[in-house]
Structure 1
Amino acid sequence: MTTAQRVVLPDSVRTNGTTPNPWWSNAVVYQVYPRSFQDSNGDGIGDLKGITSRLDYLADLGVDVLWLSPVYRSPQDDNGYDISDYQDIDPLFGTLEDMDELLAEAHKRGLKIVMDLVVNHTSDEHAWFEASKDKSDPHADWYWWRPARPGTTPGEPGAEPNRWGSYFGGSAWEYCPERGKYYLHQFSKKQPDLNWENPAVRRAVYDMMNWWLDRGVDGFRMDVITLISKRIDSAGRLPGEYGSELEDLPVGEEGYSNPNPFCADGPRQDEFLAEMRREVFAGREGFLTVGEAPGITVQRNEHITNPANGELDMLFLFEHVDFDCEDNVKWKPLPLDLPQLKRIFAKQQSAVKNAGWASLFTGNHDQPRVVSRWGDDSTEGSRVRSAKALGLMLHMHRGTPYVYQGEELGMTDVHFTRLDQYRDLESLNAYRQRVEEAKVQSAESMMAGIAARGRDNARTPMQWDGSAYAGFTAPDAAVEPWISVNRNHTQINAAGEFDDPDSVYTFYKRLIAIRHENALVAAGDWQLIDADDQYVYAFTRTLGGEKLLVAVNLSGRTVDLPRDAAELVQHGVTEPDIVISTYDASHAVVSLANRELGPWEGAAVRV
C-alpha cells in the first residue's frame, strides 16, 4: 500500500499537539544503507541504480518513505558520513542523473525520498576545510580551531586544547601543521566539526539544503544534529580549554573525557533549528525533518518536535538502545532487562502525549540486528517468532515506525569471529584503544562485545535470494561484496519470504497496512500495563470509544498474561477481535482464554 492509498485520518484526530493529521502521522519509513542494498554494476558496492531496481519491492511492502544513508561525494572514511561535496554524488553510488532517476521513479510509486544529511561535521577533504587551514581565508572560522595548551609543544601528546575524547577513539583534537592549531572532531579525525556559531556556515548549509529540495528531495534525516550547538564561555572558549570559565570533565578509563555534556543540546540548539526551518522549509509542503538526537531528553524531544515551536518533525532518541550495557560501555553488553526497556519507552510515549511526536525504531545502520539482540536467532522457528514479536511490540506504539533494511526479513547479526572480517571504523578503533593501548578490556571480551554490538552487523549485504552473494551482486561478479554476506542468506532471504504467508516479511507487510488503515494505531493514546512483568510487554491504545490491548511475550517460554491485561479480556475474545497476531488468530483466542502467551507470542486485540 503506497502513500496514495493510505486512509487519511480525520482532522478531528490530533496527532502531534497543535497540528491535526500531518501526512507522516500514519506513515512508515524504510532506511536504505546504499552501500549494502543492491549492487547494479558488479563492483561489490551498492548504488543508486540498484536502489531504483528494487523500488517495486519496497512499494509492495507498503512503506511510504525511503531514508537514504549518505550518497554524497566522500572519501568514505566513515562510509559516507564524511562528506567532501554536498552537491554531488559519490562515483561509488552513481551520478546526479542517477539520483534524479531514483527520485522520479520513487515518486511514480508514491514513495518519498529523505536524504541523510551530515552538517555537524564535514570531511577534512571538503573545500571548506581545505580553505580553513589558511587563517587569512574567509573560511578560517568555519571550524573549531584552537591553539595548543600553553607550555606544551604543538602536536605532542598532552598539548591538545582540552581532554575531550572522540566517539571513535583517541583525542577529539587533531593537530594541523598548516594552520599551527588543533581542530575539533567528535568522530573520526577526518570529520572536523563545523562552527555553527558562524552565520556564514549556517547560510551555506541552508543554501545547500534548498538546492536539494528544489531538486525533488522530500526531506532530511539529520545526523547528530543536536551536536551543532557547543557550550562556550563569554570569551568563546570551550570547556577545559586553557583559561576557560567552564569546567572540563573527569577522564574515563581510556584517558579522555566525554564531550557530550558540553556539545549536545547546547544553548543555541533551538535557535539554529528554528532558523533552519524558516530558511529552508517555510512555504514548502509534504517534507519530513528528522533529527538524530544524542544527548536529548524526552522533555526536550517534546519541545523540539512540537510544531508550535517550528523546529523538527521528529527525533531519534537513544536511551532505549543504549541502556543494555555494563557501566555505560557499549562493548560490554548485558541481557535485555524488559521492565527497564518498558519504562524507557513509557517515558518517550508520555512525553509527547500532548505535543510533539515519537520516532519508533530498534534498528538502523548503527545498531545490531534486533532479532539477535533482544530475540532468539538460535533456531529458525525462534528467529521467525521473535522477529514478529519484536516488530509487533514496536509498531503498535504511537509514533512513526522506521524499518531498517532486512529487518522485515528477520535478518540476523553476522556473527563474525575475526577482527579482519570487520570494516567499521568505530569497532576497529575501539579494539585498538581498549585492548592494545589502554588495556581496559581483554581481547576475548572485546571481540564478544563487537560481535554483539558492532555496527557491521547491520551493514552486511541485503539478502535478496540464496545465490552466492545473496542477490546483492551477480553471483559471478569479479569483485566480492565490500563486506561478507551473512552465511545464513540461503535460509533467510526476500525470495523465500515474499509469497510465504507465515514469513516475517508478510507479517511486516500486515503491520504497515494496519498503521495506514487504523486511526487507533496511528493516533490513539498509549498506556503501559504491568511495568514490572519480566516477560510480557503489554499496553493499550485508546481512541474515542475504542481500545486495543497489545500483549507480547518477549521470551521463549510460555508465560501467564499479566493480571491487568488478563482483566481486559476476562469476558473472552473472538477471532474477529484479533487485529494481528504473531501466531494465528485462532491460537491467540485460545491463549487469551487461558490467560497465557506461548513463546514469543503477541497479539493486538480489540477489548
Structure 2
Amino acid sequence: MREFKLFLIAAMVASASCTDVWWKSAVVYQIYPRSFMDSNGDGIGDLNGITQKLAYLKDTGIDAIWMSPMFLSPMYDFGYDIADYRQIAPEYGTMKDFDELMKTAKKLGIRVVLDYVPNHTSNESEWFVKSAQRDPKYADYYIWAHGKPDPKNPDYMEPPNNWISIFRKSAWEYNAVRGQYYLHQFVIGQPDLNYRNEKVREEMKDVLRFWLEKGVSGFRIDAVNMLFEVDPAKFDGRYPDEPLSGARGKTPDDYDYLIHKYTRDQEETYEVVYDWRAVLDEYTEKHNESKIMMTEAYTELALVMKYYGNSTRPGSVPFNFNYLGDLSNKSYAREMKKTIDLWMTYMPTGRVANWVNGNHDQSRLASRYGVKRVDAMNMLALILPGITITYQGEELGMTDGFVSWKDTKDPQACNTDDPVNYYKSSRDPTRTPYHWDATKNAGFSSAASTWLPMADNYATVNLAAQMAASKSHYKFYKDVVAVKRLPAVRSGDLDVRALCHYVLAVARLLPGHPVVVGVMNLADQQIAVDLSSMLLLPLQLQVEASGVDCSLEKGTKVQKNNITMPGHCALVLSSVDNCC
C-alpha cells in the first residue's frame, strides 16, 4: 500500500510538471474591442471583428490576446461597469460570437485571456438593484453607509466621510431606495462590491469558473488593490476620513488631495488573489494548460511583489508598472538598466517577470517615448525574460489621436468639467481605432463615423503600409517576436549593460544555444558600439532583426568589437554558432 501511495504521488507530480506553462515567455496582445475591428458597420469594434483579424495576430507570432471587457454594460466606463458578468454586450455581439472567436483562436493556437473587473459592478446590475432593495441575499453585496448630518443644514445628510473617487469628487452617492450612501471609487455608476461578505467572494469565484468552462486561458484582474476598504469594525462601525496628502495644486475634489490608506492595499486583498489562483489551478489540471493571472495594482513595489504569492500559496503575475511609469523620452541607458534591475531584484525567486509598454489607460508608446524609440522599446520588452504585453497598435508605432472636447467620451476627462484642460486626464487619445490601412476610417469600419475619431496620421501609419515597406516598425516587431522563441530568450540568463549614456545592451545566454543580444542606440548621432565587455559573446555575431533607423540588414555578419549603429538604431544579434 505504501508503494502504491508513493506511485500516486509521483504520478501527480509528473502530471503537474507536464502541464503546458505557456505563458512564462509569452507575447500577450491587449485588444480594446471597441477600437480593434468593426465587422457590422456601426462604428464600434466587436467580437466578430476580432475573429476576422486573429490570422493577422497568428502570423505576427502572438501567443495570447487579452480582451478588455466585452460583458453586458451600460458603458458609462466602456465595459468596466459590468451589469452581468455572464452576458455579452449587444454592441460587441452574442455568446455565439464569443464561442466562434474561441473556436477560431484555438484552431490558430492563440490563447484568450479575459479582463476580470472584480472591484465593482454597474449600478444597473441585478445584484445592485436587489441590494438597494435590501433583498436578504444581496443586501450586503456592496459598501453601504449612513450619511452624517450637515452642521449647516440638519435636514441634509452629508456623505459618510471625505473619500474621493479616482474620477474626482465624492466617492459616495446617495441611493433613495435604500436610504443610504454607496461607495464608488470610480464613476457613480460603478458601486464597490463588499469583499468582507463571503457570499460575494464565492460569487466572484463562480464568475471565473463560468469563463474557464468556456476554455479561456486566464484573466487580467482590474484594480485589484482596491478590493477591500478598512474594516469599519475597527472604527466603531464607521468609515474614517483619509488624511490630507498636502499635494500642491490639488482641491478637495481631486483624488490626489488625500492619502488613500483606508481604501487601497488592505492586507486581506492578497488572500483573495491567492484564492482566485486556486480556482484557476482547478482548471489547469482539468485542461492540462496552466492558466495565466495578471493583476493590475498601481502601488509601491514591495506591495506589488506580494501578489506573486507567499511561501505557501501561489498568486498572480503583477503588472510591471515601474517599467511603464518610470521610463520616459528623457530616460537613457543607465536609467533603463536601473529600472530593469529593480524589478528583477525585487521579484521573488522562481517567479515570472513581465514588461508592459502600454495599455488602454496610458498614452501610447510612440507618444510617450517618441516615434524614434518605438523599435527600441518594443525590442526591450520582447527580449527581456518573461511575459511581453503589447497594447494594440504599438507594433506599428501608432500615436495618440486627437479627440476634441465635443467628441470626448472618457468619464475621467468628462468629470473635469473643463473644456480647456480635459485632455490632461483623458484616456480617449490612446483608444482611437486601429489603423489597418489607408482607406476610409483606416479600414476599421465602413460606418460614416466611428465611436472615437480616427487619428489624423492613419493614411501613413497603418498596417498595410508597413507590411508593404522594405523596413517598418511592424516588420521589426515581428522579427523580434520570432527571436523571442529562441531557447536563450525563453529561459536563458540575463546580462544588462549600459555601455555608455546612450547605448544599452541586453544579452540572453543559455549553455549550448546561440546567444542573443539586443542593442539600442538612443542618441541622435551614429555610435560605434563595442560589446567586448560582454565576455561570453563570440567575436562574430549575426543580425537577426534590424530597426527602421538601422543600416545593417538581417543576415549581416558583424564583429562584436565594432558595430556601427546610426542614431536611434535598435538591433538584435545572435551568435552564429552555439555559445557557452
TM-score by length of 2: 0.85
Partner of 1:568: 534
Segment drifting more, 578-587 vs 566-575: 566-575
Which residue of 430, 452, 460 maps to 1:458?
430
Supply the distance in 2 between the matched residues of 1:259 and 1:287 (Cα, whole angstroms): 38
Q: Does the 8 Å CA contact 1:292/1:317 hold for their aligned counterparts?
A: no
Structure-2 residue corresponding to 1:79:
78
Are 2:565 and 1:597 aligned?
A: yes
Cα distance between partner residues in 2 of 1:307 and 1:24: 20
The correspondence for 1:398, drawn from 385, 401, 424, is 385
- Partners in 1 of 2:228 and 2:139 — Cα distance? 19
Is 1:426 paired with 2:398? no
The match for 1:112 is: 111
> Pairwise CA RMSD of aligned residues?
3.1
User: Cα distance, 1:398 vs. partner?
Assistant: 1.1
Distance 1:83 1:568, change over 3 A: same
Shift of 1:145: 0.9
User: Is the alpha carbon distance of 1:488 and 1:180 closer, same or farther for their aligned partners in structure 2, counting shifts above 3 Å?
Assistant: same
CA 1:117–1:152 in 2, change beyond 3 Å: closer, same or farther?
Answer: farther
In the alignment, the residues of structure 2 paired with residue 560 and residue 234 of structure 1 have an alpha-carbon distance, to the nearest angstrom, of: 65
User: Does structure 1 retain, via aligned residues, the 8 Å contact 2:293–2:316?
Assistant: yes
For 1:156 and 1:530, how far apart are their aligned partners in 2?
A: 66
CA distance in 2, matches of 1:172, 1:154: 21
- Equivalent residue of 1:235, what SS? helix
Once the two structures are TM-superposed, the CA of residue 309 in structure 1 deviates from its matched residue by 4.6
1:322 alignment counterpart = 325
Residues 357 and 378 of structure 2 are in contact (CA less than 8 Å); yes or no, is this contact kept in structure 1? no
Question: For residue 455 of structure 2, what is the aligned residue in structure 1?
Answer: 486
Q: CA deviation at 1:233?
A: 5.2
The farther-off stretch of 280-289 and 198-207 is 280-289
1:204-353 superposed matches below 5 A:
204-232=203-231, 234-235=233-234, 241=240, 248-250=243-245, 252=247, 253-255=250-252, 256=254, 257-258=257-258, 260-282=260-282, 283-284=285-286, 285-306=288-309, 309-323=312-326, 335-338=329-332, 339-352=334-347
- The one-letter amino acid of 1:171's match is S
Query: In the aligned structure 2, how far is the partner of 1:154 from the partner of 1:221?
Result: 46
CA displacement, residues 313-349 of structure 1 (integer Å, 9 cap, x when unaligned): 412132333346xxxxxxxxx8533344442332112
Name the SS for the 2:571 alignment partner: strand
Distance 1:157 1:493, change over 3 A: farther
* SS of residue in 2 equivalent to 1:121: coil
**What is the identity, as a one-letter code, of the residue corresponding to 1:345?**
I
Question: Counterpart in 2 of 1:410?
Answer: 397
Q: Note closer, same or farther for the CA distance 1:57–1:519 as it changes in structure 2 (3 Å cut).
A: same
Q: Does the 8 Å contact 2:277/2:293 carry over to 1?
A: no
Q: Which residue of 2 aligns with 1:440?
A: none
> Hey, what does 2:488 align to over in structure 1?
520
Residues matched between the structures, number:
546
The answer (yes or no) to whether the contact 2:38–2:49 under 8 Å persists in 1 is yes
CA separation of 1:186/1:153 partners in 2, compared to 1, >3 Å: closer, same or farther? Answer: farther
Shift of 1:501: 4.3
Measured in 2, the distance between the counterparts of 1:346 and 1:580 equals 24
**Structure 1 residue 83, shift from structure 2 partner:** 0.3
Shift of 1:391: 0.9
Say which is worse superposed, 347-356 or 165-174, in terms of deviation.
347-356
Structure 1 residue 579: deviation in Å?
3.8
Which amino acid in the other structure matches residue 477 of structure 2? Y
Aligned to 1:358: 353
* One-letter identity of the residue aligned with 1:513: A
Whole-angstrom CA distance in 1 between matches of 2:188 and 2:537 = 62
Q: Partners of 1:88 and 1:154 in 2: how far apart? A: 44
Distance of aligned partners of 1:300 and 1:522 in 2 relative to their CA distance in 1, 3 Å threshold = farther
Identity %: 32
Which one of the candidate residues 511, 514, 519 is aligned to 2:480?
Answer: 511
What is the match of residue 11 of structure 2? none
- Paired position in structure 1 for 2:510: 543
Query: In 2, distance between residues paired with 1:404 and 1:154?
Result: 50
* Separation in 2, partners of 1:302, 1:36: 32
Distance 1:232 1:307, change over 3 A: closer
Task: Specify the alignment match of 1:389 in structure 2.
Answer: 376
Do 1:114 and 1:220's aligned partners in 2 also have CA atoms closer than 8 Å? Answer: yes
Distance of 2:218 and 2:101 partners within structure 1: 15
Amino acid at match of 2:383: M
Query: 1:239 deviation in Å?
Result: 8.6
Q: TM-score scaled to structure 1, two decimals?
A: 0.82
Q: Distance in 2 between matches of 1:156 and 1:520?
A: 70
SS at match of 1:116: strand
